Chains A and B, each alone.
Chain A
Amino acid sequence: MTGTIETPVVAERLVKRFGSFTAVDDVSFRIARGEIVGFLGPNGAGKSTIIRMLCGLLRPSEGRARVAGFDVAREPERVRENIGYMSQKFSLYTDLTVAENLRFFGGIYRVPRAVLPERMGFAVEMAGLRHRENMLVSTLAGGWKQRLALGCAILHRPPILFLDEPTSGVDPESRRRFWDLIHDLSADGVTVLVSTHYMDEAEYCNRVALIDRGRLIEMASPSALKQHTLGGDLLVVECEGMGTAMAALHEAPGVRDVAAFGNSIHILVESAGAALAALPDYLAGCGVRVTRIEQIKPTIEDIFVQMIGAEARAEGPRP
């Protein structure tokens, strides 16, 4: 039935307003079966709001969405039978044990009693919680809790998973393990929509959607994003006197964009060769001592920063 739907998630011109504030602004996309799509964007971008609308938790102010073939506004109950959801805030029962939580969700999703022990065993194994079945969830560390939440969300084998910042606040090793699990699920045909504000996690996704201030800016595979959208070569500059250097680089010939990245500066130039030849002298002339300048491969974060900058310039200042 639902397994045969090739486009299990379709959003058409979704809008969500809270009072006069528009949290999600005209967002459309489609997700194919078995795809892993990452929603990337800073806090407050509107990722959670989009996901909540897709789960039928919030009613869209405008536009429509179909999940597993069902309209999220008109048939939310049918949608709910076909999805697994991990909310941004950890929301299992911390005063229940691991097994009690699993049994609860098994009951709520009416997992047949005959297969429930096996499914629970799988979830426990997956979360790495063997021998901890009888521990209260409140006593578990972050990574375990997160994996248990995923275990509860997939107990009923939903064809579609919505994971809202599942890895936030979890250590890097646990994050990596979590993504392995997501890939295993996707290999089984599960469609996964996952939001994150860790830009590096974009690389784990088949496609990423860049979201900023309620708008979907771009949606493509990580490699396509890097190839097509930057429109130039990327250099990293390390130097003393970041402020002066950034001001100078903005004026420099052949430089399209300048952005601070921690202790270094990333600049977008028309051609790496020309810039590498000219910029050290130019910066020295401005009184900046350069300790490192070289071409680098762009990360998703570079793309994101550049795109948001382009949007803002095109639009002018937003009220």
Chain B
Amino acid sequence: MRSRRLQAVAVKEVLQIWRDPISLMIALLMPFMQMILLGYGVSLDVKHLPICVFDREASQNSQALLKRFQASEYFSIVAGFDNYRDVTRALDRGLCRLVVVVPTDFTERLTDTGRSAVQALVDATDDNTANIAIGYAQAVVTGFSSTVLIEASALAGSTVAVLQPIAAQSRVWFNEDLESRNFIIPGVVALVMALVGAQLTSLTISREWERGTMELLVSTPVTPMELMLGKLLPYFAIGLLDAVFCLAFAVFWFDVPFRGTLMTLFFTTSLFLTVVLGIGYLISTGIRRQVGAAQIGLLVTLLPTTLLSGFAFPIDQMPPAVQAVTYIVFARYYVTILKAVFLKGSGILDLTAPILAMIIYAGIIAFLAARAFRKRLD
């Protein structure tokens, strides 16, 4: 292994991340969005909130977007309007809590710039519900626009990221007092790591295949190990940066106590990142198309992390069969560690069992990842 080649790969990767707005957004904005969504999603269960719509564009795209609102569990469309006067009256009379207004240039701006705005008028008498309603509405719009973006950028051959509406999971927790926030927020760190790690790395190899740069890369003396480490190092740094951000946000914004040491957090986070990045890389070597790789990346990291890690749903309340399954979910160990470090102030020595489990996991994944990429075209 040559550090010179490793360094060349890492520098190239950093430049590419830097020039790719979607990668940057996932790396920098995702942690923020998740913290906000999950941190505030904790106190209420919104379901089938009555909303009205005012579709000023009435196009295929705007219809598709409104269908999403209707299909989501959070909203039911109770009426549609064609002028602002009716909209105001509906809000005043409490017919609905939220009105979604699709502007006349919705599709045009979406296709031109990749982003478009949807107006949401909210009855803010109940601040909390209003905030949550906006959060969910944003999630629906994000989900929709990411679908459009994926299709558009897959055509353009650029990086594709899947920004799934994370809020989809948030509804279940709640009706608890504010203490539940302390219970959940530490686990959000795991969620952010899983999401950012798997999303970004699951694309690094498939991107090279899709753009045709892999053929040249394979023809050079770079070794699979240099390629893997060079590619993953920048994402490792981003992951740690995001962890620091999450920690600061949790402590200073949400007032979650942090009783452990930074050293313990840093060490265990590195282990978790190794696993997540390794899995993303494994997927990326196996799947040569970016869209497919991104989706599978989400499936194997984010899903188990949300559902089976004990991050929101306590493991000891699950059916025994499901409890057994959680032992193979690597995020389970990290979430246990996070909660203990945040709330109990546990150190490395108190956590030998989960840390050992993670070391074994990281070892296996690193071993598989190192062997996954063969420098051949056939």
Contact = CB atoms under 8 A, between A and B. Distances in A.
A100 B5 contact: no
A51 B328 CA distance: 46
A40 B223 CA distance: 33
A6 interface: no
Nearest to A111: B4
Interface string B186-221: 000000000000000000000000011111101111
Contacts of B378: 18, 58-59
B16 A52 contact: no
B11 interface: yes
Nearest to A81: B221
Contacts of A103: 8, 11
A87 interface: yes
Interface in A145-189: none
B33 to A, nearest CB: 25
Nearest to A18: B378
Interface string B325-345: 000000000000000000000
A95 B20 contact: yes
B260 to A, nearest CB: 40
B219 A83 contact: yes
Interface in A27-76: 52, 55-59, 76
A107 B7 contact: yes
The range of chain B's interface size is: 20 to 34
A83 B216 CA distance: 12
Majority SS at the chain B contact face: helix
B289 interface: no
Contacts of B109: none
A94 B159 CA distance: 13
Nearest to B20: A95
Given A59-B376, A93-B16, A96-B15, A104 B8 contact: yes
B5 A108 contact: yes
B212 A95 contact: no
A92 interface: yes
Contacts of B375: 76
Most buried by B among A55, A93, A103: A93
B222 interface: yes
A57 B212 CA distance: 14
A118 interface: no
Nearest to A96: B15
B2 A110 contact: yes
Nearest to B216: A91
B3 to A, nearest CB: 10
A81 B377 CA distance: 18
Contacts of B213: 91-93
B20 to A, nearest CB: 7
B12 interface: yes
Contacts of A77: 221, 223
B9 to A, nearest CB: 8
A89 interface: yes
A55 B219 contact: yes
Contacts of B15: 95-96, 100
A90 interface: yes
A92 B377 CA distance: 17
A89 B220 contact: no
Given A58-B377, A58-B378, A108-B221, A95 B19 contact: yes
B208 to A, nearest CB: 9
A85 interface: yes
Nearest to B375: A76
Contacts of A108: 5, 8-9, 220-222
Contacts of B214: 91
Most buried by A among B7, B16, B19, B218: B218
Interface of A: 18, 52, 55-59, 76-77, 80-81, 83, 85, 87, 89-96, 100, 103-110
Given A96-B12, A107-B7, A110-B221, 11 more contacts: A58-B377, A58-B378, A59-B378, A85-B219, A91-B212, A91-B214, A91-B216, A95-B20, A104-B12, A105-B8, A106-B8
Interface of B: 2, 4-5, 7-9, 11-12, 15-16, 19-20, 211-216, 218-223, 375-378
The 8 A-B residue pairs with the shortest CB-CB distance, nearest first, are A107-B8, A85-B219, A91-B216, A89-B212, A87-B215, A80-B221, A91-B212, A57-B377
